[in-house]
């Protein structure tokens, strides 16, 4: 996952440097990148935050 994110980030920067939008890539690639980053931002980050909040609350309740 980290490698895919890093490569897609570099790809987007490289395309921006030469003045091309991400949609200049072959057809399924922009859709796949959108789905990947949508999943990371909309699904992954909230779940990661929920994990840390619940871990802190449960850890606090176990200690007390």
Q: Tens of pLDDT along 2-49?
A: 888 888 888 888 888 898 887 787 888 888 888 888 988 899 999 999
Q: So what's the pLDDT on residue 61?
A: 67
Q: So what's the pLDDT on residue 25?
A: 79
Three-state helix/strand/coil letters over 5-61 = HHHHHHHHHHHHHCCCCHHHCCCHHHHHHHHHHHHHHHHHHHHHHHHHHHHHHHHHH
Q: So what's the pLDDT on residue 64?
A: 55
What global pTM score does this model have?
0.59
**Other Cβ atoms closer than 10 A to 47:** 10
């Amino acid at each position: 996952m980290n490698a895919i994110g890093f490569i897609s980030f570099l790809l987007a920067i490289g395309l921006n440097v030469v003045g091309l939008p991400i949609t200049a890539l072959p057809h399924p690639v922009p859709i796949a990148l959108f789905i990947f980053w949508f999943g990371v931002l909309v699904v992954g980050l909230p779940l990661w935050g929920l994990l840390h909040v619940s871990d802190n609350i449960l850890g606090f309740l176990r200690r007390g």
